[in-house]
Chain A
Amino acid sequence: MAGEFPIDPSLDELGRIRALVPLLGNAARPVPLPALDGAWDIDFDARNRSSEVSAKLGVSALLATESRVNRTTAIWDALVGKRAILDSPAPDTVIYETFWGIGLRILLTFRSTDVSLDASIAVVAATAEVHSLEVQYEIRSIGLGPRELAFILRRLPPLGRFDMTSYTVLETARQSLKESLMTGLNDPNAAQRLRPALIKMAATPFTNELDEAAEFRFTMQGIAAGLGLAATLARASGNAGAGAWKSIRPKSVDKIYRDLVGGEGPPDSKARTTARQWLNPS
């Protein structure tokens, strides 16, 4: 299973998660909200994702000052709501779990090389305080309205830097929000305010950068060796040794191959030379 992803809760007119429609099409549907029974789930976790993935999910805002390659976004949620899990997902189901919630989402974006990729929010704050780490800092709400925005604007430092002081203020606000959100959900209209905020996917439409690079390397090796597409794909299934190239996706290899070779091959000498130069740049 591919893990949990915070998403932009915006749905299109067909009830699909808007940010995922370009990647998943009709499979971008959240698990429907189950009947509410007054028992609520809580999600107060922080998750670190590459800023590139986070932007594709519509979660974090555009930051155009620097390449997104070296950026991590920590997504720090304070959500209450209901977790919906498919009991018996169909074989082609992509999204098998959805957290429908309301609450606050704090986004911190920083250079990946400045802080460990799995750093906690407290560590990010401490690094910002001690080493003047530049942190882009956003606050978003899910299912909250004008009264809550007024509450947040009064108490939080929206214009300030993210450091130990703002971390403490934010953590206190998150904790005090938990009780008021749970009370608010007892409103009979609560279900209308819940939004899909987190999903779990059976297969991620995103790859990490290393796996993506491995797919390119694998394909370029096939082209450089003069292999056709079918022979290149066959290399992935077994004869290169147990566990070899297990992370590559045939669909990606297919696309990389066709983009360079222009078909199913075998590659001409120009494509082979390009692939060799890709593998050994000078």
Chain B
Amino acid sequence: MSEYVGFDLAFRSLSLEAAAELRVSSIFEATGSGKGLALLFDALLRTEYAERIVLPSGFAYIKRKGTGLRVAMKMSTGNAKAATSFAGVAAQTTLGMATTNYKIEGVALSEQVIGALLDIPISGQLSEQTFRGIQVALSERLPEYLESNEIRLGEYSEPASVDLDRPGERARSINYAMSMIARRTSLTATLANLPPTISRETVLVTYARFTGSVDTGSKRRPSPTDAEAANLWLSTGSLGT
């Protein structure tokens, strides 16, 4: 028991392509790169063991040892927004904005144990009823099981952060936004004339930090103080603080 160093209640989202490549659940196998999202909710105890593995495709995962439940969901997004919580997935599915299939997988738990934790099928389509069933399994049955049984260890994989970062491209977009702020160009005008190589989102964030506004319809020009700060950054790399 002392091997456990902690637990995770984590909600993750990744592309279907990444989920299939990383084999985080059989529900994503043969998914291809179709439209939609792969979602994982983990309630897992873990040990210190961790091994980072990078696949030839560039995707990476961490092999861990632990025990618990993983709810894997394949969400066909349609008009849905990117979900950031299990409740958000359920809400969009209930409203018909998305179709979501789920599969409950155990780590170091036998199918018999998983069956005993669930009042619902181990896999199927997410609905109000199955969402409630998953909630009961996680907040009532799993705690009972953890307290009254000897826990064994099994291996599982966790999607790892890969270096998707492109600092040069981001820096270029920040540089562009700063030069526009220095000229007191409104956010609306800047976005309307954005060169194709410049990231709209980065420009938006940079304006938000300097002018305090993310109103893309606003024609308000950056203040002289904001322009002065941007000019200082352009010529010295600092904001003078």
**A145–B43 touching, CB < 8 Å:** no
Closest beta carbon of chain A to B237's beta carbon, Å: 3
| Residue in contact with B237 in the complex, picked from A117, A139, A153, A246, CB distance below 8 Å | A246
Given A70-B204, A113-B205, the answer on whether A152 and B9 have CB atoms closer than 8 Å is yes
**A213–B170 touching, CB < 8 Å:** yes
Number of A-B contacts (CB under 8 A): 218
| Residue in contact with B147 in the complex, picked from A113, A147, A214, A247, CB distance below 8 Å | A147
Closest beta carbon of chain A to B130's beta carbon, Å: 12
User: Contact string, A231-263, partner B, CB cutoff 8 A, digits 1/0?
Assistant: 000000000110111111000000010000000
Tell me the A124-171 residues at the B interface (CB within 8 Å).
134-154, 156, 158-162
| Residue in contact with B37 in the complex, picked from A18, A65, A256, CB distance below 8 Å | A65
A44 within 8 A of B: no
* Cα of A70 to Cα of B203 in the assembled complex, Å: 10
The segment out of B27-35, B80-88, B95-103, B219-227 that lies at the interface is: B80-88
**A217–B236 touching, CB < 8 Å:** no
Given A56-B161, A150-B146, A154-B139, the answer on whether A140 and B175 have CB atoms closer than 8 Å is no
User: Contact string, A4-37, partner B, CB cutoff 8 A, digits 1/0?
Assistant: 0000011100000010000000000000000000
| Residue in contact with B4 in the complex, picked from A52, A66, A146, A240, CB distance below 8 Å | A146
A215 within 8 A of B: yes
* Cα of A192 to Cα of B48 in the assembled complex, Å: 12
Closest beta carbon of chain B to A13's beta carbon, Å: 10
**B233–A214 touching, CB < 8 Å:** yes
Nearest B residue (CB) for A133:
B84
**A282–B195 touching, CB < 8 Å:** yes
Closest beta carbon of chain B to A179's beta carbon, Å: 20
Closest beta carbon of chain A to B78's beta carbon, Å: 15
A225 within 8 A of B: no
Residues of B contacting A70 in the complex (Cβ-Cβ under 8 angstroms):
201-202, 204-205
* Cα of A63 to Cα of B175 in the assembled complex, Å: 26
User: Contact string, A171-182, partner B, CB cutoff 8 A, digits 1/0?
Assistant: 000000000000
Given A62-B161, A161-B85, A213-B171, the answer on whether A67 and B7 have CB atoms closer than 8 Å is no
Nearest A residue (CB) for B131:
A159
Nearest A residue (CB) for B19:
A64
Nearest A residue (CB) for B46:
A10
Given A150-B146, A248-B237, the answer on whether A61 and B10 have CB atoms closer than 8 Å is yes
Chain A residues at the B interface, C-beta cutoff of 8 Å: 9-11, 18, 52, 55-56, 58, 61-70, 109, 112-113, 117, 134-154, 156, 158-162, 189, 192, 195, 209-218, 240-241, 243-248, 256, 278-279, 281-282
A-B pairs, top 5 by smallest CB distance, nearest first, are: A214-B237, A65-B82, A150-B143, A216-B171, A213-B171
16 pairs, A vs B, C-beta closer than 8 Å: A9-B6, A55-B161, A61-B8, A61-B11, A65-B84, A69-B205, A135-B85, A138-B8, A138-B10, A139-B10, A140-B10, A145-B4, A145-B45, A146-B4, A159-B135, A160-B87
